Amino acid sequence: MNKSVFIGALTAAGLAAAAAPAATLDEVKERGVLNCGVSTGVPGFEAPNADGEWEGFDVDVCRAVAAAVLDDAKAVEFVPTTGKTRFTALASGEVDMLSRVTTWTFSRDVDLKFEFVGVNYYDGQGFMVPKELGVTSATELDGATVCIQTGTTTELNLADYFRVNNMSYEPVPIETQTEAQQQYLAGACDVYTTDSSALASVRSSFADASAHTILPEIISKEPLGPLVRHGDNEWGDIVRWTLNALIAAEELGVTSANIGELSAAAGDNPEINRLLGTEGNLGEMLGLDAQWAVRAISAGGNFGESFERHIGENTPIGLARGLNAQWTAGGLMYSPPFR
Amino acid sequence: MSDTHAQTVAYVRETMLPERAPPATVVGPIGWARENLFSSPANTVITLVALAFVYLIFSILIPWASHNTWSATSLADCREMTGKDHGAACWGVINERWRQILFGNYPEHLRWRPILDLVLLGVALAPILFTNLPRKMLYFSAAYPFIMPWLIWGGTVWVPVLAAMGFVIGFLVIKFGEEVLGSLLAMVLAVVVALVWWLFLLSPLSDVLSSILPIGLEPIGSSRDIGGLLLAFVIGVVAIGCSLPIGIVLALGRQSNLLIVKTLCVGFIEFIRGVPLITLLFVASTLLNIFMPPGTNFDIVLRVIIMVTLFSSAYMAEVIRGGLAALPKGQYEGGDSLGLNYWQAQRLIIMPQALKISIPGIVSTFIGLFKDTTLVSVIGLMDPIGWATAIRADTAWIGVLWELYAFIAVLFFIVCFGMSRYSMYLERKLKTSH
Amino acid sequence: MTTLSDPPKESFRLSMLLYDTRYRSMTIQVIALIGFSAFVWWLIGNTAQNMAALGKTLSFRFLWEPAGYDINQRLIEYSSQSSHFRAAMVGVLNTLVIAVLGCALATVLGIIIGVLRLSRNWIVARIMTVYVEMFRNVPVLLWIVLAMAIMIETQPAPRAFKGDDATASMIFDAVAITNRGVFVPAPSFTSGFASTGLNWLIVLLVFAASIFVVRLVRARATATQEATGIRPTTWYLQLGLLIVPTAIVLLVMGLQWTSPELKGFNFKGGLHLRNSLIALWLALSLYTAAFIAENVRSGIMAISKGQSEAAGALGLRPNRIMSLVVLPQALRVIIPPLISQYLNLTKNSSLAIAVGYMDITGTLMGISLNQTGRELETLLLGMLIYLTISLLISAAMNVYNARMQLVER
């Protein structure tokens, strides 16, 4: 924000103290940039590279939305948020959407007044221990020292799990994932608990990954997804259906490689045609143009491509699709029909 | 007496003996060592222990640091190069990322602007610190607060020009209103007029002017791009610059004998000094927008600057209060006896001296503040420590730790140590007392 | 002859509010008050409007809801089912612990380093200068993070103590320094009352009583010295009075030391000084000690050289000159800046959040804030708590300062 915008904001404040909040879509279009809240760094999901550009699985969602709305996948301002600042950043309008490994829970949805638009990663809280401890089940963890990341749902799950199973533990609260990883590796805690996707990515980054094992217990459901503010349903729809477009594209076999060909003219599959705007007027209904989904998918590829590029089995993170495979392949990824 | 002497003593030397060189054990390196290191058994033991301690530190640091890993592109690369998993520094991370630690995401082709800003800062400070420089340079010092943010953020030139105009207008109102309305009313009016100018007229006027005469610098994407050490500098310099006038007002308020004004000032100062900066930063990151009228949305860097300014103005007020207290009472009385009114006495007699006494205090406040800017990493801003966290989350560098912290510590040390030495030099130079 | 006449009685005019110094100050104050009230009213109005828009209300009821998270270092009873309020109290106590420990260590270190900086031993003086400059010119947050990293990376994990081929061993079989913190033997009572707090209270009371008696003995000795000129030798009596009663009480109550033992995942028994506590404690103390050392040095330099020369002329040895003549006088110069260093240390302890030490910033303004989403309430409460602690410290230290100052006649 440059100085004139700053002064402008003050002016606006002085003139129209009680103006109704403008529609987020108009705001974003006027600004020409999408403000997207991310975390301060989770490998594979969001981290800045050497050129300072943010990359990752969550980042691709932001880029897809920016491409759909602004026709420019680069027109995203990434706002790093901590566990503490993420919700206020969204509530106060500092960011237009959050896409940062955030668990969809009842109280966040209802009490904090946010709208989770979908799930881009089905996760669950797990435990990782060094093999040499000889632990094979989480129920053997009585008395263990556990590294947890503060400001997340994992703390509460952990407290519940140990209380229910009548075990004691020593929590070591840690601010960032990199810090937690460092402490775990040095043996400052016996167990590292967080979302199992993160566990896998952390384990894969170890020099000797085979010396660590992820326990079979998954003690919680952690559906991670992008979220927006309550009360602006048009904007919520745009983010929701952009995410769905990415998922549906994978299901329908639309990839960044063949999308140019498929969107050039209407083909045989009416659903692909509707998605890519060669048939019907879905884009118009969203308040965008017909090509919105084409741009969103071209930005970072479809859901599967983005997954493979950032966190898939061929990356250092090395996550299997598992629950996050398409429903047709035995997973939970299921986009409502484009019709 | 000499007569007696001459008769009793057969021979008296009448010239001085040439000085003999002192024994080798008391001069030169040996003498120095005997005097300073081995003057007593206890001292010898202490010296040996100290030497052992120094050796221990270096024997850990040097083998760790002396690995030529500058060209590595990932930690795994480093491990391959040195053949060690631990105990070897991986400097490749600094080589690859030092620009981010220094500038954050500030656009590469615009980086001359912050550097120019730094140079201009020196030019602007020079006439304040050295009285033998031409007084005309003070005009540039006055203009610097408007040039500095413009160079960093870019955008049209009219905003800083018009913002400066606000001060001119306020000054004119005081100057011409004083005779008509009296000093008090004129001052209130000046403040109101200037506020109206900044809040309501500045923005449309600058839009109009920039559409007529579009002069300006390329604006940067957003304040978020300012990062690394540059962010620390921007927050530090802007906050200290803004807090100086606020601090002067608060210090005067605290010294005044107007009960309500004094209570308000003391309350503000003690409140700010009683809470940690981090809580104020939490306020900046989570609450400040709630306190503002609905629809206002400052970006986080501005919010942080606002809160840090409030924070440092409380400390600045105490520094300046110290300067005021150090002035002899005769200066105040002298001002009164010349028939100067309160503001005239402050402007012509008290403040120039009090501020001069306060300069070392102001510099150390700045050093403290500059170090404290690292706290913004706790609320997710990308200062050097924030960048260190982000770099450590990069899959190529997971596990890197000491190199980044050592680099950042050295950066801060150079800047802060340099400033504190400079302030000591100034202190000696500015000492006008006899 | 001139007759004095009363000056003409002034009638009050409105313009006097502006031009008459008697009334003008009132006018200024009223303007200031109006301005300030308007500002506060504006802030509150905005806040209310924004809170309404977000659908929130200002309510502290969340404080009595279960917190749901665990805290590792707790001085009072606490579990995840306790309320947010209790979590906040645990945090306040932890803040106080680190503040007291930090101030104590920083003072000791600061005085030693400050004196050593003036040492005639060149290398010692140099090392201390390097120390002071190094710590003063690097942000404290960096020191805290570094101290934590050193604790974690360089100390052995509890695992290393295990088995026959253990790579680490305990010091005297009593103290274990691990990368989870330091385990030291903890005292406990076998007989005595059920509550440990009560037991310690008794010990403290007995100890306080012996100190009181020792002071009486000393006062008697001084009185004798003043009357006869000879000071009776009482040091063995003082020492005995100081130690014996407390030792008896401890013996009667069956004091025993429980050494930490490696059981299962970790050391059990004994006192666990966690990593986060140690790192924060060391970093804060070392950092603040550098500043205190500078205060001490300038305090000592402020004492005129004549004082130490006069003491030398009386035949005092350098150590005694320092402890009997220079330091007591320097103390008066040192105390005021020392107060502000204590305040700084206490405020800097809020950086605990960087190493996961659960102080008030970590509990109330950290996890509670995250889990409940009540930013306004938690931050207001947290700031209020810090303000109270700061004001208490400065009040206490100012009283001490007033007692130490020279009484000027």
Q: Which residue has the higher pLDDT, C24 or B291?
A: B291
pLDDT of residue B434: 42
Residue B6 has pLDDT above 90, yes or no: no
To 10 degrees, what angle do helices A196-205 and A177-186 make? 60
Residues of chain A contacting residue C370, judged by C-beta atoms under 8 Å apart: 83-84, 150-152
Q: Which chains touch C (3 or more CB pairs under 8 A)?
A: A, B
Is A172 within the bounds of a domain? yes
Residue B3 has pLDDT above 70, yes or no: no
pLDDT of residue B2: 53
Residue B368 backbone phi and psi in degrees, to 5: -60, -45
pLDDT, tens only, A37-89: 998 878 788 888 878 789 899 999 999 999 999 999 999 989 888 877 888 88
Cross-chain Cβ contact B105/A94 below 8 Å: no
pLDDT, tens only, B169-221: 888 888 888 777 777 778 888 888 888 888 888 888 888 888 888 888 888 87
Which of A324-338, B12-26, B264-278, B407-421 is predicted with the least confidence, judged by mean pLDDT? Answer: B12-26
**CB of C152 less than 8 A from some CB of B:** no
Domain that holds residue A97: 23-122+224-329
**CB of C124 less than 8 A from some CB of B:** yes
Residue of B nearest to A9 (CA): B296
Give the CA angle between residues C215, C218, C223 to the nearest 5°.
Answer: 125
Residue of B nearest to A21 (CA): B295
Inter-residue contact A141 to A167 (CB < 8 Å): yes
**Best mutation target, C50, C161, C180, to test chain A (most A CBs within 10 A):** C180
How far is CA C185 from its chain centroid?
Answer: 24
Q: pLDDT-based confidence at C123, cuts 50/70/90?
A: confident
Domains of chain C listed by start with CATH number? 84-155+274-404 (1.10.3720.10)
Last residue of a domain, one of A196, A220, A244: A220
A229 and A258 housed in the same domain: yes
Question: Among partner residues A150, A162, A188, which is closest to C179 by beta-carbon distance?
Answer: A188
Residues of chain A contacting residue C371, judged by C-beta atoms under 8 Å apart: 155-156
Q: Residue A144's domain is classified under what CATH number?
A: 3.40.190.10
A138 and A111 housed in the same domain: no
Tallying the residues shown for chain A, one arrives at: 339
**CB of A114 less than 8 A from some CB of C:** no
pLDDT, tens only, B305-323: 999 999 999 999 999 998 8
Residue of A nearest to C66 (CA): A156
Which of B21-25, B57-61, C292-296, C318-322 is predicted with the least confidence, judged by mean pLDDT? Answer: B21-25
pLDDT of residue B205: 85
CA nearest C95: which of C280, C237, C234? C280
A138 and A234 housed in the same domain: no
**CB of A6 less than 8 A from some CB of B:** yes
Last residue of a domain, one of A200, A220, A240: A220
Residue A16 has pLDDT above 60, yes or no: no
Residues of chain C contacting residue B257, judged by C-beta atoms under 8 Å apart: 25
Residue A5 has pLDDT above 60, yes or no: no
pLDDT of residue A19: 39
Q: Could you give the number of structural domains in chain A?
A: 2
Residue A4 has pLDDT above 50, yes or no: no
pLDDT, tens only, B28-77: 778 787 777 777 788 888 889 989 999 999 998 888 888 888 888 888 88
A235 and A305 housed in the same domain: yes
A319 and A296 housed in the same domain: yes
**CB of C392 less than 8 A from some CB of B:** no
Q: Tell me how many residue pairs between chain B and chain C have CB atoms under 8 A apart.
A: 150
Cross-chain Cβ contact B275/C386 below 8 Å: yes
CB atoms within 10 A of CB C12: 9
A111 and A41 housed in the same domain: yes
Residue B156 has pLDDT above 90, yes or no: no
pLDDT, tens only, B250-272: 999 988 888 888 999 999 999 99
Last residue of a domain, one of A173, A192, A220: A220
Q: pLDDT-based confidence at A11, cuts 50/70/90?
A: very low
Cross-chain Cβ contact B203/A7 below 8 Å: yes
**Among all chains, which residue has been given the structure tokens 């030019």?**
B123
Q: pLDDT-based confidence at C4, cuts 50/70/90?
A: low
Q: pLDDT-based confidence at B409, cuts 50/70/90?
A: very high
For all residues of chain C together, what is the average pLDDT? 86
A170 and A251 housed in the same domain: no
Residue C69 has pLDDT above 60, yes or no: yes
Residue of A nearest to C50 (CA): A92
Residue B10 has pLDDT above 80, yes or no: no
Residue C310 has pLDDT above 50, yes or no: yes
Residue C19 has pLDDT above 70, yes or no: no
Distance from CA of B119 to the nearest CA of A (A): 22
**CB of A186 less than 8 A from some CB of B:** no
Cross-chain Cβ contact A187/C159 below 8 Å: yes
Q: Which chains touch B (3 or more CB pairs under 8 A)?
A: A, C
Give the CA angle between residues B161, B166, B167 to the nearest 5°.
Answer: 100
Inter-residue contact A130 to A249 (CB < 8 Å): no
Distance from CA of B365 to the nearest CA of A (A): 26
3 state DSSP class of B30: helix
A241 and A182 housed in the same domain: no
Is A15 within the bounds of a domain? no
User: Which whole number is the average pLDDT over C46-57?
Assistant: 84
Alpha helices in C118-139 (DSSP H): 122-136
User: Which whole number is the average pLDDT over B134-151?
Assistant: 86
Cross-chain Cβ contact B394/A1 below 8 Å: no
Q: How far is Cα B82 from Cα B67, in angstroms, rounded to an integer? A: 7
**CB of B39 less than 8 A from some CB of C:** yes
* 3-state SS track over B101-155: HHHECCCHHHCHHHHHHHHHHHHHHHHHHCCCCCCCHHHHHHHHHHHHHHHHHCE
Residues 137-166 of B with CB under 8 A from C: none
Edge-first strand order for the sheet with C181-184 is C176-178, C181-184, C271-274
Residues of chain C contacting residue B36, judged by C-beta atoms under 8 Å apart: 120-123
Residue B9 has pLDDT above 60, yes or no: yes
pLDDT of residue A12: 40
Model confidence, pTM: 0.85
Cross-chain Cβ contact A3/B398 below 8 Å: no
CA nearest B186: which of B195, B173, B196, B167? B173
Q: How far is Cα A114 from Cα A225, in angstroms, rounded to an integer? A: 12
Q: pLDDT-based confidence at A8, cuts 50/70/90?
A: very low
Question: Among partner residues C50, C137, C382, which is closest to B420 by beta-carbon distance?
Answer: C137
Domains of chain B listed by start with CATH number? 28-94 (no CATH), 97-106+220-430 (1.10.3720.10), 157-217 (no CATH)
A37 and A158 housed in the same domain: no
Is A116 within the bounds of a domain? yes
Task: Write the single-letter amino acid at B32.
Answer: W
The ipTM of this complex is 0.86
For all residues of chain A together, what is the average pLDDT? 85
Is A17 within the bounds of a domain? no
Is A115 within the bounds of a domain? yes
Which of A107-111, A188-192, B194-198, B297-301 is predicted with the least confidence, judged by mean pLDDT? Answer: B297-301
Residue C1 has pLDDT above 60, yes or no: no
CA nearest C26: which of B126, A35, B326, B259? B259
Q: pLDDT-based confidence at A96, cuts 50/70/90?
A: very high
Q: Which residue has the higher pLDDT, B131 or C43?
A: C43
pLDDT of residue C314: 92
Residue A20 has pLDDT above 50, yes or no: no
Question: Among partner residues B85, B163, B297, which is closest to A92 by beta-carbon distance?
Answer: B297
A130 and A212 housed in the same domain: yes
User: Which whole number is the average pLDDT over B71-92?
Assistant: 83
User: Which whole number is the average pLDDT over C280-287?
Assistant: 95
A51 and A185 housed in the same domain: no
Residues of chain B contacting residue A94, judged by C-beta atoms under 8 Å apart: 289, 297, 299-300
Residues 275-294 of B with CB under 8 A from C: 275-279, 282-283, 286-287, 289-294
Q: In the 8-state DSSP scheme, what is residue A329?
A: G
Inter-residue contact C18 to C25 (CB < 8 Å): no
User: CA C207, C209, C210, C212 torsion: positive or negative?
Assistant: positive
A32 and A181 housed in the same domain: no
Distance from CA of B232 to the nearest CA of A (A): 17
What residues contact residue B123 under an 8 Å CB cut-off, 6+ apart? B137, B140
**CB of A151 less than 8 A from some CB of B:** no
Distance from CA of C378 to the nearest CA of A (A): 12
Inter-residue contact C257 to C187 (CB < 8 Å): yes
Residue of C nearest to A93 (CA): C54
Distance from CA of A315 to the nearest CA of C (A): 28
Question: Among partner residues B274, B375, B402, which is closest to C386 by beta-carbon distance?
Answer: B274
Which of A192-206, B307-321, C2-16 is predicted with the least confidence, judged by mean pLDDT? Answer: C2-16
User: Which whole number is the average pLDDT over A170-192?
Assistant: 86
Cross-chain Cβ contact A21/C53 below 8 Å: yes
Inter-residue contact A277 to A290 (CB < 8 Å): yes
Long-range CB pairs of C203-212 (<8 Å, 24+ gap) are C203/C246, C203/C249, C203/C250, C203/C253, C206/C245, C206/C246, C206/C249, C207/C245, C207/C246, C209/C245, C210/C241, C210/C242, C210/C245, C210/C246, C211/C242
* Partners of residue A121 on adjacent β-strands: A224
Cross-chain Cβ contact B293/C149 below 8 Å: no
pLDDT of residue A13: 40
Q: pLDDT-based confidence at C75, cuts 50/70/90?
A: confident
pLDDT, tens only, C340-391: 899 999 999 999 988 889 999 989 998 888 888 888 899 999 999 999 999 9
Which of A97-101, A327-331, B31-35, C56-60 is predicted with the least confidence, judged by mean pLDDT? Answer: B31-35
